[in-house]
Amino acid sequence: MLSQRSIDIIKSTVPVLEIHGTTITKRFYDMLFTSHPELLNIFNHANQKQGKQQTALANAVYAAALHIDRLEAILPVVKQIAHKHRSLGVKPEHYPIVGQHLLAAIQDVLGDAATPDILQAWAEAYGIIADAFIGVEADMYHQAEAQKGGWADFKRFRIVRKVKESDVITSFYLMPEDGAPLAAFEPGQYVSVKVEIPGDEHTHIRQYSLSDRPGKPHYRLSVKREDLVAARPAGKVSVFLHEMTTEGDVLLLSAPAGDFTLDQQDTRPVVLISGGVGLTPMVSMLYTLAATNPKRQVTFIHAAQNSLHHAFKRHIEELALQYPAVSFYWCYDKPTASDRAENAFHREGYISLDWLQSVVPTPSASFYFCGPVPFMKAVNSALREWEVPEEDRHYEFFGPAGSL
């Protein structure tokens, strides 16, 4: 337990962290990778280049300081991050290394303002928070390995099918190389994929949602090729998977993880809203609902540029014919002439509150949404304006956790 004096000292640093948090975390990563370049095998290099990882860590440190006297308030965030840590292979021995360089970065950025009392208080707090992560992650590692079909760390899976779903998204059907049964997963969860790219010094790990329902003899990952997006660093792993892998190749996978999961005990209507490749966990949820609870009312809304970028369109339209409780709507912001001629979409432009209210029967539903951050901010804002309670708004960030 932290002393009241340490709690008071850490709370006094909240305004400083609000201003200098990202500067501190940028310096932290510089120092960490200089001293321990082997840790580059764990981190997403693209997120580092874009500053997403630094911002996410700054937000986490700020939240820890703000709630240091009631850490139970950030326990949901701890569990969310712990899922990612487990899937990446973060181990207890990494925490002292991180703590050492985080304190050094605080001292380096703040200079004389980082007094010995402040550094000591943060060292104590970090120790408590690290212990919480280590404990939660130990349970997750045990559960991942002990479950039927489970495994520790990374396991070899063979690509048994590779299917182009749209101009930018390809699905990979994967089965264990050893022929063992698959570990179960919850609709909405993801796996980490570890690859070695020829010519690169470090391995790369990326997390991809499982896009098929549980109970199939395979895992399916549906990956967007990211080098086709302007003003963003090329996605090395997505390009590698699209261009350099073929059926029969082997990928290394972690056991399924993640807390963005469908509540299958809820009997109320469910609304699944996605943008771009954010539809992958939603498709898993939709297929699961159709297979296990076909009478539960489902509204599936997907936003894409146009039909060329729209994966699983035909599959979902065919599924809705079999299950009358499922309704679907497509929003295209850049429809092609063919899309217009074929009436291939329901709304041109972006999702808005008035349009949502016209197609969703009731706000008394469970809402799940995923996609680019600006898209999720717009959806979250619309649902909040519609007075959908926070506990009924569920969302997932692809990459480091951000804020809506």
Tell me the binding residues for NADP(+). 276-281
Residue 306 near residue 332 (C-beta atoms within 8 A): yes
Query: Can you tell me whether residue 279 is helix, strand or coil?
Result: helix
Of 137, 186, 226, 396, catalytic: 137
Q: How far apart are CA 179 and CA 196, in angstroms?
A: 23
Residue in 333, 329, 277 with CA at minimum distance from that of residue 305: 333
Q: Which residues are annotated as a binding site for FAD?
A: 190, 206-209, 397-400
Cβ-in-10-Å burial (0-12, 13-18, 19+) of 387 comes to: exposed
Cβ neighbour number for residue 336 with a 10 Å cutoff: 15
Angle between helices 14-35 and 94-110 (to 10 degrees): 120
Angle between helices 52-66 and 4-12 (to 10 degrees): 130
Q: Which residues are annotated as a binding site?
A: 85, 190, 206-209, 276-281, 397-400
Q: How far apart are CA 117 and CA 120, in angstroms?
A: 5
Q: How far apart are CA 15 and CA 7, in angstroms?
A: 15
**Catalytic: 186?**
no
Cβ neighbour number for residue 13 with a 10 Å cutoff: 22
Q: How far apart are CA 328 and CA 377, in angstroms?
A: 22
Q: How far apart are CA 361 and CA 269, in angstroms?
A: 9
Residue in 284, 253, 85, 259 with CA at minimum distance from that of residue 183: 253
**Catalytic: 368?**
no
CA end-to-end span of the chain, whole Å?
32
Structure tokens at 104: 């050094």
Structure tokens at 72: 């139970």
Of 18, 29, 38, 95, catalytic: 95
Q: Which residues are annotated as a binding site for heme b?
A: 85
**Which residues does the annotation mark as catalytic?**
95, 137
